[in-house]
Amino acid sequence: PQTIYLRDYAPPAFLIDDVQLTFKLAPSATRVLSRIHFRPNPDAKDSVFFLHGENLTLIRTAINGNTITPEVTDEGLTCTVPDGPFVFEAEVEIDPAANTSLDGLYMSNGMYCTQCEAEGFRKITYYPDRPDVMATFKVRIESELPVLLSNGNPVAQDDGWAEWSDPWPKPAYLFALVAGDLVNHPDSFTTMSGRDVALNIWVRPGDEGKCAFGMEALKKSMKWDEEVYGREYDLDLFNIVAVDDFNMGAMENKGLNIFNAAAVLASPETATDANFERIEAIIAHEYFHNWTGNRITCRDWFQLCLKEGLTVFRDQQFTGDMRGHAVKRIDDAIALRAHQFREDAGPLAHPVRPESFVEINNFYTMTVYEKGAEIIGMLRRLVGAGDYKKALDLYFARHDGDAATIEDWLAVFTDATGRDLTQFARWYSQAGTPKVTVRDEYSNGTYRLHLSQSTPPTPGQPHKEPLVIPIAVGLLDEGGTEVVKTTLLELTEAAETFTFDDLSGKPIASIQRDFSAPVILDYPQSNKDLAFLLAHDTDPFNKWDAGRRLAQDVLLRMVRDDAAPDAAYLDGLATVLRDDSYDPAFRACVLLLPSEEDTATALVDAGQTPDPMAIYHAHEALKLLLAQQLQDSLPRLYADMTVTGAYSPDAVATGKRSLGNAILSLMSKLDGGKQASAQYTDADNMTQQLAALAALLKIGKGQPELAAFETQWQNDRLVMDKWFGLQVSCAAPRLAATTAANLTAHPAFDLKNPNRFRAVFGALKSNTAGFHDPSGAGYDLLADWLIKLDPINPQTTARVSTSFDTWKRYDPDRQAKMRGALQRIAATPHLSRDTTEMVTRILG
Ligand code: DPP
Ligand code: ZN
């Protein structure tokens, strides 16, 4: 397969003024007629006319009305064209019913829908399928299905057809079409300038009752973007459609967002608190794309972080505003460290703006999205909130309607604030997680912090340059008083010293407050100091992180030497847990142990080979110890966390349930599941029901409840995904692969549905000791199913194959088994480009 390079970018040879499309829908033989106004691009370097096209049957082509015979390959079409502007027409036939890749136009449970990002439009018709070609679209859909939707505003419709017009020029990846037997949940929103916008969430009949929350989230997002970023919606209509079969979470098509049903449908009985929060964030994310992604799009796919990093940053701000910033920052840091740091430390490490790819779908990664968002957070911290706003205003004013680049983005900050960002820009080009080493000394009232930075080599990047790293620091005296308030240090050299004068004694430092940069901190603080910070730090992030570091230390000692947990940790934890002045959501974060995967990473960082079984036993032992240690407080705390009244997914109630269910899990280790059984029986919402079931499964019980759950929810696909996943994630390590294998034989297991596939195999990955069982059964099972899935759905196959990306961390026996599994996948005949690229990179 061919590698595409950023450095080879060339402007398009032709631009498009407008596009007219007619769809004559039929499951196996849909006709697509296109009429496109092209003109030569004055900025082009060549004049070759090339249109992308894949899996299309070409029926007819014409230029300026005259039929022509173009040259057609597997990848597209070329022909000679007249000088100056011309009209290109084509008629093609496609087969949506046979399209299981869920890319292009496909069918899901009888409904037609599209997914065109990144390069799916070329499976619909011949077109310059690149984001720097923007055009207005007029679409006519012919079908007997009752609901026919496309981008923009409705123009006209009657029995059997509908016409749509999108006045905003857009790249083809934002095109969307939906046709189906759908019902809507309608609402409306009046924008800040007084425009009335009709809002709809379209679902399959039966799901109407699961739309209200998503609709509220949409209205909150629209309001928030007006208030915080000054961004107003720009069409008369905003449609969201829920689709069962979808590779991603959701897609920001102009005026017609298409959502994975799991990312929009929710009711108290069927969705957990975590689902509600995720739905609110994804609705916001896709809505925010209307400005950061659609009005201003990307010049090419290397610039993906331009829209994704910024839009993730915006949805994080939104969630913080809606639900509280401290816990949001903690949640984001947990996810970043667990998944993005993992990616950045392994064979798949790549810059936030990659320099090459084979298949762009493989670069919708934690690095592009989440590290991309962290870069924007650092920029905001460095220039300050006021200048950040100035820069964003300039970005929208200067680039509205553009297909822009990271250089454009940084230039806006330089022009608005005067700051030179030449060095800062390395964050976009340099892969790997920087390590910041901190050493300190105190004498005669002066405290010195010696900071140094280094970034390890990553594939293709042996040498790294120093970055601009904002490190937020506060100093506490030994009484717990803050003697230096949060101060932002800018580390720009390989090593630098920062001095604090006029102190009356050696302070205790709180470093990297609010997780001010996506770096690994190497600052050996004593458990005494960490316990002190857990008790006294005024920065909620570092207060939590001190507890986290203590817990990780305890776990490492338990794995290595079977040591008993440090009293500093147990006492500190108990104190926070019992302190009602902290909100329950925060206390739940403090109680949450690092994951087994986190402990494996900590061991690797300390130069040791992780043994997943030993880690599992240490985690189980610590949980039991915590349960015993906190025994006297647990029933009271559990009772205190009772939420009365009708279920609401708000932050306060969510926090209480979150702490209550963490306590329930501990209580179950001592009471044989008595309380969990009671909670299961009493539960009137999915959060309580599922947490009770999980607590029971984790202690080897819950089989009757599991059966009852299946009977109760067998007709709800989203709830059944939970049923599939929970059994695997809660299985004892030895049984995880067998449990997953048995579930793949269940009649409701569906290889064509990515949610179901991920429910089983995502859970298998998350069961660290189970996946890495020394028998290799987990590896073999996953490889078998990836090989089966690849011809059906390459995108999801490639994505899930990343479960193997840590293979080089392990002992020779596990390494050999994982390498064998990867090689078996790689050797599969006709393996997709997606999976080939991924597996090749993982093998290194
Ligand atoms: N739909 C995906 C997202 O919003 C890709 N753009 O991130
Ligand atoms: Zn996005």
ipTM of this predicted structure: 0.98
232 is catalytic: no
Mean pLDDT to the nearest integer, 145-150: 98
Ligand 1 pocket, residue 282 CB under 6 Å? no
**CATH at 444:** 2.60.40.1840
Which distant-in-sequence residues (6+ apart) come within 8 Å of 96 by Cβ?
25, 27, 28, 30, 104, 105, 106, 107, 112
Question: If you measure from the C-alpha of residue 513 to the centroid of ligand 1, how many angstroms do you get, rounded to a whole number?
Answer: 30
Looking at the chain, the whole-number percentage of residues with pLDDT higher than 70 is 100
**CATH at 749:** 1.25.50.10
Ligand 1 pocket, residue 138 CB under 6 Å? no
How is 99-123 classified by DSSP, letter by letter? -TT-SEEEEETTEEEEE-TTTTGGG
Question: If you measure from the C-alpha of residue 176 to the centroid of ligand 2, how many angstroms do you get, rounded to a whole number?
Answer: 16
The answer as to whether 736 is a domain residue is yes
Phi, psi at 439, each rounded to 5°: -130, 150
Q: What is the pLDDT of residue 80?
A: 97
The answer as to whether 311 is a domain residue is no
The answer as to whether 314 is a domain residue is no
Question: If you measure from the C-alpha of residue 176 to the centroid of ligand 1, how many angstroms do you get, rounded to a whole number?
Answer: 14
The answer as to whether 337 is a domain residue is no
Question: If you measure from the C-alpha of residue 308 to the centroid of ligand 1, how many angstroms do you get, rounded to a whole number?
Answer: 7
Mean pLDDT to the nearest integer, 809-826: 98
Ligand 1 pocket, residue 132 CB under 6 Å? no
The answer as to whether 561 is a domain residue is no
Q: pLDDT, tens digit, for every residue of 159-192?
A: 999 999 999 999 999 999 999 999 999 999 999 9
User: Best substitution site from 117, 247, 304 to test ligand 1's pocket, by max atoms within 8 Å of Cβ?
Assistant: 117
> Among 163, 181, 199, where does a domain finish?
181
Which atom of ligand 1 is found nearest the CA of 369? 7
Which atom of ligand 1 is found nearest the CA of 289? 4
The answer as to whether 722 is a domain residue is yes
Tell me: pLDDT of 200 over 90. Answer: yes
In which band, very low, low, confident or very high, does the pLDDT at 236 lie, cut at 50, 70 and 90? Answer: very high
Question: If you measure from the C-alpha of residue 286 to the centroid of ligand 1, how many angstroms do you get, rounded to a whole number?
Answer: 7
Per-residue buried b or exposed e for 223-241, using 16+ beta carbons within 10 Å of the residue's own CB: ebbbeebebebbbebbbbb
Catalytic pick among 286, 343, 374, 837 = 286
Q: pLDDT, tens digit, for every residue of 510-569?
A: 999 999 999 999 999 999 999 999 999 999 999 999 999 999 999 999 999 989 998 999
Rounded-to-integer distance, Cα 357 and Cα 3, Å:
6
Ligand 1 pocket, residue 381 CB under 6 Å? no
Tell me: pLDDT of 366 over 90. Answer: yes
Q: What is the pLDDT of residue 302?
A: 98
Residue nearest to ligand 1 atom 1, measured at CA: 251
Residue ranges making up the domain that contains 721: 714-844
The answer as to whether 276 is a domain residue is no
List C-alpha distances in Å: 103 to 606, 700, 791: 43, 41, 13
Q: What is the pLDDT of residue 162?
A: 98
> Among 181, 199, 231, where does a domain finish?
181
Radius of gyration of the CA atoms of the chain, in A: 27
- What average pLDDT does the structure give for the chain? 98
> Among 524, 554, 575, where does a domain finish?
524
Residue nearest to ligand 1 atom 5, measured at CA: 251
Question: If you measure from the C-alpha of residue 252 to the centroid of ligand 1, how many angstroms do you get, rounded to a whole number?
Answer: 6
User: Best substitution site from 298, 301, 308 to test ligand 1's pocket, by max atoms within 8 Å of Cβ?
Assistant: 308
* The total number of structural domains that make up the chain: 3
Tell me: pLDDT of 1 over 90. Answer: no
Q: What is the pLDDT of residue 650?
A: 98
pTM of the full structure = 0.99
How is 351-406 classified by DSSP, letter by letter? -SS-SEES-GGGG--HIIIIIHHHHHHHHHHHH-HHHHHHHHHHHHHHHTT-EE-H
Which atom of ligand 1 is found nearest the CA of 251? 1
The answer as to whether 253 is a domain residue is no
Q: pLDDT, tens digit, for every residue of 704-729?
A: 999 999 999 999 999 999 999 999 99
Q: pLDDT, tens digit, for every residue of 466-477?
A: 999 999 999 999
Ligand 1 pocket, residue 242 CB under 6 Å? no
Ligand 1 pocket, residue 315 CB under 6 Å? no
